[in-house]
Structure 1
Amino acid sequence: MKFKILFASLFLSLAVYSQKDSAILFKIDNKPVFVSDFKRVYEKNLDIVSDKDQKAVESYLDLFINYQLKVKEAYSLKLDTVKTYKSEINSYKNQLAKPYLQDSTFIKKLIKDAYQRTKHMLNASHILVKVSPNATPKDTLKAYAKILNAVKEIKNGTSFANVALKYSEDPSVKSNFGNLGNFTAFKMVYSFEKAAYNTKVGELSTPFRTQFGYHIVTVHSKKPSPGEVKIAHIFINKNTIKGKEKIDTVYNQLKLGVAFEKLVKKYSQDRNTIANGGLLPKFGIGRMPTSIEDEAFALKNVNDFSKPFQTRFGWHVIKLIEKYPITSFEKMEKELAKKVKASGGNRLSDLAMKQKLRKKYNTKIYQPAKKVFYQQQIRSAKRDTLTKTLLTIEQKKISQQQFFDFIRNRRHLPIDVLFEDFVDQEVLSYFKENLIHTQPSYAETLKEYQEGLLVFDFMQQKVWNKSVKDSLGLQQFFKANKSTYKFTDLSKNKGTVMNDYQTYLENELIQDLRKKYKVTIRKRTLKKLIKHYKTNG
């Protein structure tokens, strides 16, 4: 696969368009090949062609004609209809289309928004009423009514904590009364983060939905973010008097100047960090237990260490390794872009793209045809009875049968949810199908990859595989050209002879193709092309 891609990519290039480039350079039978076709390949490959003769336009044109003859013959042999070829082209199409399916403007906005949120940390509480993303309308309405009742009680004066205990379905509510502590960007799912940062301090948000259900949030404080820190720690896992005595011993030795790393090896019971001096990955607000975060961010200077402190895990002493304050957007942009994509930014961009395409295309849903799918046993229906048009996207018709195939093995989701997913899929499919008409660079790259792959398969069939399998032909070739070699033993030098045999077979193949197809070069156009490259270096 990798070699095929490399072989095909030798003929990929940037598109260059002008009035002259649209001129016909030569024809193979009645099929025209344009100046633009030649220029794309020639200019792309100039730097990788070492032979000076081949860099000459006339010499390279000869190679290019041979290449186009192979393409012509490959189509004649219907190699483009072979299952493996079609599968590989479909896979490449999907890969090639990916950049066009991302809403780059939307992604840039997400990155800038993330920077602004990274600069501040929130302390907030929430109430959650669980409801599945694929819940029925009835269950969704029930959950929404419950969250509205919670809002009503808070507005009537009941404390948020008491309302959280009564209504929230977050398992941690019994211990934290809905308080989530401090957090910054990327610590919550995006929809929650967005709602929390859009809520002013002391105010209550309107109900909003995430993948977990409906929420309301109240923000207690909004402060500048301290950024991130890297620390090392010594950990004693016994919350006992003996544990306290041991951690005090550690602390006293640190004060006497004993190296932190030496004490880690002697006392720390965190097996994962003993080997690296107690070092922990860098972290920001909302990643560690609050007591560890408080102690870490309170340390001012590198190599400062804390007094012993206790968490539910045991006793700790920590040392500051490095601080990572919030810097400029330009310095943080690359890291933020990675985090945005890792936290679902691409998925959100996909969603934005789908919404944009739905608005762009004239999409019509035929409700009577759709109504059929609300029947209880619809997945058991006979496919050939579903012949009506269900959906049109511009002039493209999508039948009931296509949606029937889509839902057949998707039994866990309601029809309404499945239909929306189906429409999104068809809209994206229509967009991808039309990229060859709307994006010239996509069309050229795809065409050249298709041809490159065809030539690869053609050469494999007619030259490479033949040279490997035709042992008699190889022996006869060696015998006929024995005088050109310094050795007499074919078995010990088979690789060298086989390379020459492949060249021989390819030359024979080209001669046959030149006889089979008529090549007509437009000499005036070629003369102008040669002059163009001489003038422009």
Structure 2
Amino acid sequence: MVAPRTAITALLLTGLCVGCSGPQQAGNPGTEATSSSENTVVARYAGTAITQAELDSAFAESTGGGENAADSSRSAYRDFLDQYLNFRLKVRAAHDAGLDTLPSIRQDIQSYRQKLARPTLLREEVYEPAARTLYERQKEAVDVSHILIRTSNRDTLSAYRTAQSIADSLDQGLPFAELAYRNSEDPSARKKGERGFRGRLGHIRAGQIVAPFEERMYALEPGETSDIFRTKYGYHILKVHGRRPTEPPIRLSHILRRSEGTSGGARQFLDSLRTEIVNGEVAFSAAAKEHSQHRQSASKGGTLGDINPETLPDPLRKAVASMDTVGTVSGIVKTRFGHHLLKLTGRQERQSFKEAYDSLKDRVSDQPRAERRKANFARDVRAEVRVTVDTTRLLDAANIASTDSLARPLLATDPAGVSPDVATLGDSTYTLRQMARHLTQTDGGAQMTVGALIESFLNEKAIQYVVTRRAQRDPSLAEAMKKYREGALLFRYMQDSVWTAATQDSAGLRATYRRNQDQYRFSERVRTIVFRAPSDTLLQPYKAAYDEDRSLQTPLSASAEDSLVSADTVYVTDQSAEVYQPVRSADDREAIGPTAQEDEWLFMIRDTRLPPRPKTFEEARNSVVQDYQEAYEQTVIRQLRNRYDAQTYPDRLRPPSRAPSPTS
């Protein structure tokens, strides 16, 4: 279906002004004609008034805004009055014909409502709260240890009992680190020098670890130990040691000298090099390229790129914390990797939530935490409105044993048969067929149980329920839905009453052809065979083959077997695109190209010149249909104006104002 908003604009601007004189125009009598009032009535139909304010708003929208409307001529504004009245008459006729009750129209409007209002709802209720939580948590990093008992390839109950015995030992006062070293199934727990040794993960911030782990580590106070909880990796117990503020990313460069023998040599070398750098005798980047023993960054002048300070080893992090000014060169810093010289080359400012929202939303939208929040919101809605599910009827109709069974048998129900009602939410009733359709549209539906299907289906309908209510209450959404609804009705009315009716009126089309036959003519044309390909090299063999034997059949036969080259016939006129114009001055059977046109290449062979001649009815049919539809529409509009006693009052119009359009 053509987008109704597009249909409205197109139909308003086609200049369908008919019946603009005689009894359909009225003079300027009475008190309604106060031109200074926005309530001035400028047209009437079927007891309905069109005011100056309504017309101003519609005119501003059709011209692209109040500024353009104010710059329009008085005559254009008067013409628009007739066009707008015609639009309102068609919408009224569509309502009177009951088109607004058609299932296809209702479904189209419902789909658009969801498309329009659903993103706003999900942003407010799901993504923005999740992103806000992530944003606030990222201001702190949590120093945490954990003990992991895996559940893969073992009995889940046995794994839980193991975790419970460790928790009991913690309650008895045994050291967390010792229990992690002895019992944790995280391999790093027994690897000295690695992150995770004796369970100590160090500082972690939100977004770096699975949601259940993150939820608990931000809920605990320093020194507290969590309950047993499960993630996709297994059962965990964690302990929080402390928190510290996080810092925005910095841009850092370094020079590394590894300790060989005694560490004094590396320290003395870097100390001397630092003096040269600080005194301006050598650039830091040049010194890094020549002297750094960190190969990955040395070739880039020591650049490490953007770094989150909390991810650095403690000695480096502390050194960076003391470097307040961009350009500062640190003292010598020792780590287990060797001795370092650091330079702060940039510091990012912490983004506001608004600035960071898009990236935060991208991070949370595909995560289970967002789906859980969406499900929780839907369940809250279901708790507030009346929801019923007839599981017995559902199971009997689909011949399924229980709600724990797979829901796949629902797909085998007869699509043409009677589909029983199985659920309600609010004032809506849902059938077994609708639930089966939801199953086909859900990722992983083939493995979904009946119980999970019911939950998923009702959650989706709960969200749709809220979307509908919000669209009705929100003035801007309600206005957008009103325009879309009118556009859908207008399109259907024009399709049924004008376009299709005119197209099927063979006698009227033939009469239009005979009446305007002199207009339906071919100008001089040059029939041309055009070969198209994504590159000129693909067309060179075609050119060579044609140059060799001058036979059209040779390249045409080749293109029929070539998936990358296509051939078609083009009738070139003086109105054709510039790329075809050389054909008009060429000789018959002369080849042109390959020639580039946008994203493709053309090889053209002029066939012959075709003189001007009249078009047959079939050749002119598209133009005839368009002309007859325009005439037919004028007849329909005259009928509607008489039917609804429509009148315009152009003398009451004030000059176009700068009233803002509804969408501005």
Q: Could you say whether these structures have the same fold, taking a TM-score greater than 0.5 normalized by the shorter chain as the test?
A: yes
Return the alpha-carbon distance in structure 1 between the equivalents of residues 628 and 272 of structure 2: 83
Structure 2 Cα separation of the partners of residues 47 and 106 of structure 1: 39
**Shift in CA distance, 352/53, structure 1 to aligned 2, threshold 3 Å:** farther
Out of 402, 413, 416, the position equivalent to 1:383 is 413
Structure 2 letter corresponding to 1:42: F
Asked if 1:360 corresponds to 2:390, the answer is: no
Q: 1:199 deviation in Å?
A: 0.6
* Shift in Å, 1:349: 5.2
Q: Give, as a single letter, the amino acid of the residue that structure 1 aligns with 2:425.
A: I
Q: Equivalent residues in 2 for 1:399-478 (5 A)?
A: 399-407=431-439, 410-433=445-468, 437-449=472-484, 451-452=486-487, 476-477=518-519
- Aligned-pair CA distance for 1:166: 5.3
CA-CA distance at 1:374 after TM superposition: 3.9
Q: CA deviation at 1:230?
A: 1.9
Structure 1 residues 42 and 191: CA distance shift in structure 2, 3 A: farther
Does residue 195 (structure 1) correspond to residue 249 (structure 2)? The answer is no
User: 8 Å contact 1:7–1:456 — kept in the other structure?
Assistant: no
1:222 equivalent in structure 2: 243
Contact kept, 8 Å, 1:25 with 1:521, in 2: the verdict is: no
Using the alignment, how far apart are the partners of 2:182 and 2:270 within structure 1?
46
Q: 1:476 to 1:379 in 2, by over 3 A?
A: same
1:49-77 CA-to-partner distances (Å, cap 9, x unmatched) read 44222674x4432222344567689999x
- Superposed displacement of residue 206, structure 1: 3.0
Give 2:635's aligned residue: 512
The question of 1:178 aligning with 2:199 is answered yes
Corresponding residue to 1:392 among 416, 424, 429: 424
Distance 1:131 1:471 in 2: 80
Alpha-carbon displacement from aligned partner over 1:3-42 (angstroms, at most 9, x marks no partner): 969846969xxxxxxxx99x99644xx7968658656523
Which letter does structure 2 place at the counterpart of 1:357? V
Deviation of 1:96 (Å): 0.9
Q: Which moved more, 1:392-401 or 1:98-107?
A: 98-107
Report the counterpart of residue 606 of structure 2 in structure 1.
none
| Stretch of structure 1 that moved more, 430-439 or 181-190 | 430-439
* Matched-pair contact (CA < 8 Å) for 1:124–1:217: yes
The offset of 1:219, in angstroms, is: 1.0
Offset of 1:365 from its aligned partner? 2.7
Q: For residues 68 and 365 of structure 1, do their structure 2 counterparts lie closer, same or farther at Cα, with a shift above 3 Å needed?
A: same
Aligned to 2:374: 350
The letter for the 2-side match of 1:156 is Q
Residue 344 of structure 2 corresponds to residue 320 of structure 1: yes
How far apart are the structure 1 equivalents of 2:352 and 2:652? 48
2:398 is matched with which residue? none
| Distance in structure 1 (CA, Å) of the matches to 2:259 and 2:486 | 70
User: Could you tell me how far apart the structure 2 residues matched to 1:248 and 1:31 are?
Assistant: 97
Q: CA deviation at 1:341?
A: 1.8
C-alpha distance 501-449 of structure 1, shift in aligned 2 (>3 A): farther
What does the per-residue CA deviation read over 1:444-470, in whole Å, with 9 as the maximum and x for residues that have no partner? Answer: 3134245557878979x969xx9xxx9
Are residues 1:263 and 2:287 paired? yes
Q: For the residues of structure 1 that align with 2:185 and 2:50, how far apart are their CA atoms?
A: 67
User: Is the aligned partner of 1:127 residue 2:147?
Assistant: yes
Instruction: Quote the Cα distance in structure 1 between the aligned partners of 2:72 and 2:328.
Output: 64
Equivalent-residue separation in structure 1 for 2:313 and 2:432 (angstroms)? 54
Deviates more, 1:410-419 or 1:118-127: 410-419
C-alpha contact (below 8 Å) 2:5/2:484 kept by paired residues? no
1:318-372 residue CA offsets vs partner (Å, 9 max, x unmatched): 311234576xxxx623244345423316656534532332223211233434664
CA distance in 2, matches of 1:246, 1:473: 100
1:41 aligns with 2:61: no
Partner amino acid, structure 1, of 2:173? G
Whether contact under 8 Å (2:43, 2:85) holds in the other structure is: no
Partner of 1:332: 352
Confirm whether residue 157 of structure 1 aligns to residue 177 of structure 2.
Answer: no
In structure 2, the CA distance between the partners of 1:518 and 1:106, relative to structure 1 (3 Å rule), is same
CA apart distance, 1:233: 3.4
Aligned CA distance change for structure 1 residues 117 and 404 (closer, same or farther; 3 Å): closer
Q: Residue by residue, what CA displacement relative to the aligned partner does 1:405-440 show, whole Å, maximum 9, x if unpaired?
A: 544762345554443223212322344455554445
Distance 1:536 1:184, change over 3 A: closer
| Structure 1 unmatched runs, 5+ | 12-19, 133-137, 480-489
SS in structure 2 opposite 1:231? strand
Number of matched pairs: 491
Trace 1:490-529 onto structure 2 (pairs within 5 A). Answer: 491-493=573-575, 508=631, 510-518=633-641, 520=644
Amino acid at match of 2:143: N
- Structure 1 counterpart SS, 2:220: coil
Over the residues paired in the alignment, what is the CA RMSD in angstroms? 5.6
| Distance in 1, Cα, partners of 2:212 & 2:272 | 48
Aligned in 2, Cα 1:226/1:67: closer, same or farther, shift over 3 Å?
same
**Which residue number corresponds to residue 620 of structure 2?**
none
CA deviation digits over 1:248-289, x for unaligned, max 9? 867744431211222344466878767864444433355455
Task: Please name the residue that 2:83 is paired with.
Answer: 63
SS where residue 514 of structure 1 aligns? Answer: helix
Query: Partner letter of residue 261 of structure 1?
Result: S
TM-score by length of 2: 0.57
Amino acid at match of 2:236: H
Distance 1:511 1:9, change over 3 A: closer
Change (3 A) 1:51 1:311: farther
- Encode CA deviations 1:454-488: one digit per residue, 9 max, x unaligned: 878979x969xx9xxx9999994499xxxxxxxxx
Q: Indicate if the aligned counterparts of 1:8 and 1:448 stay in contact, CA closer than 8 A.
A: no
| C-alpha displacement of 1:202 | 0.6
Match of 2:117 among 93, 97, 109: 97
In structure 2, C-alpha distance between the alignment counterparts of 1:239 and 1:91, rounded to whole Å: 68
Q: Secondary structure at the match of 1:341?
A: helix
Instruction: Check the 8 A contact 1:231/1:279 in 2, yes or no.
Output: yes
Contact 2:42 2:650 in 1 (8 A): no
Task: Flag the structure with larger Rg.
Answer: 2
Q: Say if 1:230 and 1:322, in contact at 8 Å, map to a contact too.
A: yes
What does 1:139-158 align with in structure 2 at a 5 Å threshold?
Answer: 146-158=162-174
Specify the SS of the correspondent of 1:219. Answer: strand
* Superimposed CA distance per residue, residues 126-178 of structure 1 (whole angstroms, 9 cap, x where no aligned partner): 2345569xxxxx98776655544432221122222233345545454343232
Residue 261 and residue 141 in structure 1: after superposition, are their counterparts in 2 closer, same or farther (change >3 A)? Answer: same
Which residue of the other structure, out of 282, 307, 324, is the alignment partner of 1:283?
307
Q: 1:454 to 1:322 in 2, by over 3 A?
A: same
Letter of the aligned partner of 2:227 in structure 1?
T
Name stretches of at least 5 consecutive residues in structure 2 with no aligned partner: 11-37, 396-400, 504-511, 522-571, 578-622
- Write the letter of the residue equivalent to 2:637: R
Select between 157-166 and 208-217 the one with higher mean Cα deviation.
208-217
Q: 1:405 to 1:212 in 2, by over 3 A?
A: farther
Deviation, 1:201, is 0.9
Call closer, same or farther: CA 1:281–1:522 in 2, change over 3 Å: farther
SS in 1 for 2:481: helix
* Percentage of identical aligned residues: 21
